[in-house]
Chain A
């Protein structure tokens, strides 16, 4: 069964637009952890954020913000005022017993 679903395969936005990347997860555990990773064109995986299942407080870090809602099993990621350097593939991930990745969303920011 798919543990992490990122329904948006590719998104293109014009620079300075806001963009939200969706992530829906599935787990039977009451304790679990969610992550977002960025994969720029160079290929490495860059950790962005983790959130545990007990903490539904939204988080903002600069232009990045995350909206965690247990009621809808979603952990969405918003980039405000997007920049060309934000162009990458973004992966949502879940840890219950193991670390499971979503299929990724390729974001292209057009100058």
Chain B
């Protein structure tokens, strides 16, 4: 069964450091997403990506965040200067062409900023 893979599963970083969270979406999918979930809270939309550009982003996705699809297979989320409040689980998801197709989620990367 196809799956979305995320690496690393857990990352600890010092405040102010840059982190890159990596995702490999399902190969024939065209829509890609990043979500964030602060421990015990709701899943929050960060950004959607289609046709090699951001299609929508939330208020959370400020200038500290960026996304890239550098090589046609990976989909990365970069946080330039991490803050304590960036500590969360970050989920990557991908979806096929049709609107009603299931969004497949990765297992998540738990980011801990210390």
Contact = CB atoms under 8 A, between A and B. Distances in A.
B91 A45 contact: yes
Interface residues of B, number: 24
A102 B42 CA distance: 7
B59 interface: no
Given A43-B89, A43-B108, A45-B105, A50 B42 contact: no
B7 interface: no
Interface string A8-52: 000000000000000000000001010101000001110100101
Nearest to B100: A33
Interface of B: 33, 35, 41-45, 48, 55-56, 89, 91, 93, 95, 99-105, 107-108, 110
Contacts of A93: 103
A31 B100 CA distance: 9
Contact of B110 (A43, A45, A91): A43
A81 B100 CA distance: 30
A14 to B, nearest CB: 24
A104 B99 contact: no
A33 B96 CA distance: 14
Nearest to A4: B42
Interface residues of A, number: 21
Given A50-B100, A99-B93, A104 B42 contact: yes
Given A45-B43, A52-B100, A98-B55, 9 more contacts: A31-B99, A37-B105, A44-B108, A45-B108, A47-B105, A98-B48, A98-B56, A99-B103, A101-B42
Contacts of B103: 35, 47, 93, 95, 99
Nearest to A55: B100
Interface in A77-109: 91, 93, 95, 97-104
Contacts of A97: 56
